[in-house]
A = this chain, B = another copy of it.
Amino acid sequence: METNEQPASQPLGVAAIGYAFMGKAHSQAWRNVAAYFDVPAVEQKVLVGRDAEQVAEAAARYGWKESATDWREVIARDDVHIVDICAPGWLHAEIAIAALEAGKHVLVEKPLANSLPESERMVAAAASARARGVVSMVGFNYRRVPALAYAKQLIAAGRIGAVREVRASYLQDWLADEGAPMTWRLRKETAGSGALGDIASHAIDQVQYLTGDTVTEVSGRLHTFVAQRPGPGGPEEVTVDDAAWATLSLASGAVASVEVSRVATGRKNSLRIEVYGSEGALAFDLERLGELEFLDATAPAEEQGFRRIVVTEPGHPYAGAWWPQGHMIGWEHTFTHQIRDFLEAIREGSAPSPSFEEGLQVQRVLGAIEESAAAKSSTVHL
């Protein structure tokens, strides 16, 4: 079947592929979205993973009706209308393209893929599927933090004037300890890159999302602070970056800086973003994800100051669906919001954002940073 039709009275069947960290997070979103938002009816049909026993257990725990080990069989099922890909990056292209060709709506976790060629093929498949009414989306979940969605609204409404500088950093410390063991995430062949692809991708997506602007050139640097880590048979070489730095030119003339690290001791999950405009400024930290700081520079000088907005008012993005003012929601609901918007696009037949094209564009910026880093940080045009 190449089209994605089901009787209006039937819920959309969902298959999710992957049951690790992201699978757990996406599952909670599917399990809860309809309790808070008016969305098309969905059913958590099947969770797919390689280990039959483990995936069965995860399926039971996370609310899926069935489990399976062969994703090809699953995307062939008539009662599956949506495929949610939480598998590692090197599998994204193959699964996504197959699912789109099978007429399934596809949500794929970021990064879109580990390589540019794969990403480009995915974009082509998504464009072709879109013509047939099939919806696709890449999962930059932080776009659905209410505080960041509200920041975008403020910028779009001109509340900080013309954007000049953006400072984006994403600091973690789970590799600060030299004794932290080797994993597939620290090998170039499996992970593609290190902090760059994993977390700089989020930072760069935010820079473009918040400003509605596009990166046109970059200067970058990569560094591996801990070059060897213990493996089962002794020390192994780390072949990806622990940290990355970049300066980005945006089409509007704005300049953004990006710094990401997995060895920033004491920072657990700190995506910080500051945006400075000609008439105001914004600041955000993911470790306080319910808050947005806003400075209105058109107020009298004496009254200016960064105000801490608790982003839980009914009028804030997504917030009205949840609890009364001041009752914070958690990190996981960035995924709930993502699925809400994905389902809304399916209902409306519209193209949700971020599209695969947007995912590819982020990949291109990451690639340019790698290219610059390999060329003594010399500026690279996109």
Q: Is A73 an interface residue (CB 8 A)?
A: no
Q: Smallest distance from the beta carbon of A254 to chain B beta carbons, Å?
A: 9
Query: Which one of B32, B61, B281, B306 contacts A31 once the chains associate, using CB atoms below 8 Å?
Result: B32
Chain A 252-263 interface mask (CB, 8 Å, partner B; 1/0)? 010101010101
Task: Tell me which of A27, A255, A300, A302 has the highest count of chain B C-beta atoms within 10 A of its own C-beta.
Answer: A302
Which partner residue on chain B sits nearest A258 by CB separation?
B257
Contact A294 B288 (CB under 8 A): no
Query: Residues of B contacting A261 with CB < 8 Å?
Result: 165, 276
- Do the beta carbons of B309 and A304 come within 8 Å of each other? yes
Is the CB of A209 closer than 8 A to any CB of chain B?
no
Q: Please give the number of chain A residues whose Cβ is less than 8 angstroms from any Cβ of chain B in the complex.
A: 93
Closest CB in chain B relative to A310 CB, distance in Å: 5
Find out whether the CB atom of B325 lies under 8 angstroms from the CB atom of A331: no
What's the Cα separation between A325 and B172 when bound, in Å? 9
Total identical chains? 4
Contacts of A85-109 to chain B: CB distance below 8 A: none
| Listed A/B pairs (20) with beta-carbon separation below 8 Å | A27-B35, A160-B265, A172-B326, A176-B276, A221-B247, A225-B253, A245-B255, A264-B276, A265-B279, A266-B276, A266-B304, A268-B326, A269-B324, A289-B328, A294-B303, A304-B309, A304-B313, A323-B332, A327-B331, A377-B378
Say whether A307 faces chain B, with CB atoms less than 8 Å apart.
yes
The smallest C-beta distance from A298 to any residue of chain B, in angstroms, reads 10
* Cross-chain contact B62 with A35 (CB below 8 angstroms): yes
Query: Which among B279, B287, B323 is the interface contact of A326 at CB below 8 angstroms?
Result: B287
Considering the complex of A and B, which 4 residue pairs feature the smallest CB-CB distances, nearest first?
A: A268-B326, A269-B326, A330-B330, A307-B307
- Complex interface bits, A112-126 against B, C-beta within 8 A gives 1, otherwise 0: 000000000000000
A324 touches B266 (CB 8 A): no
